[in-house]
Homo-oligomer: A and B are copies of this chain.
Amino acid sequence: MEVIHSIADLRSRISEYRRKNDGSVGFVPTMGYLHEGHASLLRKARSQSGLVVLSIFVNPLQFGPGEDFERYPRNTERDLEVAEAAGADLVFMPTVSEMYPTPTRTTVAVSGLTSRLCGASRPGHFDGVATVVSKLFHIVQPDQAFFGLKDAQQVAVIQQMVQDLNLPVEIVPCPTLREKDGLAMSSRNVYLSDEERKQALVLSQALDKAKEFVQSRPNFHAAELENLVTSHIASAPLAVIDYVEVLAFPSLEPFENSTHTDSIILALAVKFGKTRLIDNVILQLRK
C-alpha cells in the first residue's frame, strides 16, 4: 500500500497502472476516521477491482459555519492500518491547499434532491459534496466508486450528478454497517458521551419498528410512519429531532402512497448533545 499526497503523483501512479494492466480502478472516497463501514466499502472494491484507491480528505466545502469541520475526528495512523487490512492499494491524502490551491469559483449543484432532509438542515452541504466528489472523480478517474447507504441522500445526489454530467463511473451503493446493538457506524459516534451513546439506540430501534409497521400494512400514510418513529425517538430524553421524513426512493420526492412508488426511504437526523446522527432504512413496498 502506498500513501500519496499530491494530485500529480496519484495521477501518474494510476495511469502507470492503466498502462500495464487491464483491471478496473475502484475508488472509495472518505473523510477518514475509518470504521468497519468504510472497511466494508474497501473490501467490496477489493473484490471487484484491480486497483483500489482510497481517499481521505475532510472537505471544508461541505461543512457549514458552526459545524464540526475543525473538530472532525482524525487518526491517520489507525486509518492506514484499517486501509491496509481491507485491501487498499493507494491512499490519497491531500492537504486542503492541494485540493483548493486558489479559492474555488466553480460549484457543482444538484437541485431537487438536495432541498429536503440534510439538504434543508445543512444549506450548501450537498453543493460541497458534489463539487469535491466531481474533483476526486476527475483526479482518480475510477471505473467504480463505492459509497455507504447510511448517507443515502448523498448516494442519490451523486448518482444524479453522474447521470446528468455523463461522468464515466459506476456508483456502487453499499449497505449500512451497524454496531452489535444496532447503532449505525459513523465517525461521529466517537463524540457521544456514555449516556448519549446508550440513548442513541432509539434510532435503529425506531427504524426496526417502522420496518415491521410497513410489513404488516399494505396501505399506510407517511404521517403514520413518521409519528411512530418520532414518538419512539422522543422516549430518549437527550434526543433532539432535526427531521424524520418518509420519501420516495431514490427520487427523494414526497411519498404519496404505495401506488406511485415501489421503494421508500425513512430517513432521520437527531442530535444528542452537540452530535448530529443520521440513519435511514430503505423499504420495498408490497403491492
Contact = CB atoms under 8 A, between A and B. Distances in A.
Interface of A: 7, 11, 102, 104-113, 130-131, 134-135, 138-139, 141, 160-161, 163-168
Nearest to A161: B106
A165 B102 CA distance: 12
B160 A106 contact: yes
Contacts of A107: 108-109, 111
A138 B167 CA distance: 5
A168 B11 contact: yes
B166 A135 contact: yes
A118 to B, nearest CB: 17
Given A106-B130, A106-B160, A130-B106, A138 B113 contact: no
A121 to B, nearest CB: 20
B7 A105 contact: no
A109 B135 CA distance: 14
Q: Would you list the 6 A-B pairs with minimal beta carbon distance, nearest first?
A: A106-B164, A138-B166, A104-B164, A135-B166, A105-B112, A106-B161
Contacts of A139: 166, 168
Nearest to A131: B165
22 contacts: A7-B166, A11-B168, A102-B163, A104-B164, A105-B110, A105-B111, A105-B112, A105-B113, A105-B164, A106-B109, A106-B110, A106-B164, A107-B111, A108-B165, A109-B109, A135-B164, A135-B165, A135-B166, A138-B166, A138-B167, A139-B168, A141-B168
A111 to B, nearest CB: 5
Contacts of A164: 104-106, 135
Nearest to A109: B107
A163 B102 CA distance: 9
Contacts of A141: 168
A111 B102 CA distance: 13
A167 B112 CA distance: 25
Contacts of A109: 106-107, 109
Nearest to A130: B106
The interface centre, meaning the residue of A104, A106, A113, A138 with most chain B CB atoms within 10 A of its CB, is A106
Given A107-B109, A107-B111, A131-B165, 12 more contacts: A7-B166, A105-B112, A105-B164, A106-B108, A106-B109, A106-B130, A106-B165, A107-B108, A108-B108, A135-B164, A139-B166, A141-B168
